[in-house]
Amino acid sequence: MQKITTFLWFNDNAEEAMRFYCSVFKNSKPGKAGGMLVTFELEGQEFFALNGGPQFPFTEAVSLFVRCENQAEVDYYWEKLLAGGGKPSQCGWLKDRFGLSWQVVPNRLGELLGDPDPDRASRAMQAMLKMSKIVVADLERAAAGG
């Protein structure tokens, strides 16, 4: 049991959300379901979800960050998390069909933004700011000055 657990407030569809998230993440475990509280695990991270009513909808002030090894992972999570009515945003952010915000980010982005050459880092940042889904090849091309 982890000391700090993410707790998500849903209107009345926490169990549906749990099933959806467990279908997206290969390393997942559905937990207790039924009634007001649902538990599940994604990639070793425990989540509690509450059917709490419409008082507190999700906002972009909190998001879940998905680290991706390569473009194939970015593409996979981007497509899966948008399925069923999600909405893409900018700079690798999206909202899933439940309104929860996600950042789908390739590890390469952090490497490029942390480049010791400030011009390369700036070009990568400017390219990222124009993207919805992050495309690694486009970031690398921009960083290189192309």
CATH number of residue 23's parent domain: 3.10.180.10
Angle at CA 26, nearest 5°, toward 136 and 39? 120
- CB burial of 5-32 (b: ≥16 within 10 Å; e: otherwise) equals eeebbbeeebbbbbebbbebbeebeebe
What domain count does the chain have?
2
pTM assigned to the model: 0.94
pLDDT of res. 1: 74
- Looking at the structure, tell me whether residues 43 and 80 fall in a common domain: no
When the pLDDT of each residue in the chain is averaged and rounded to a whole number, the result is 97
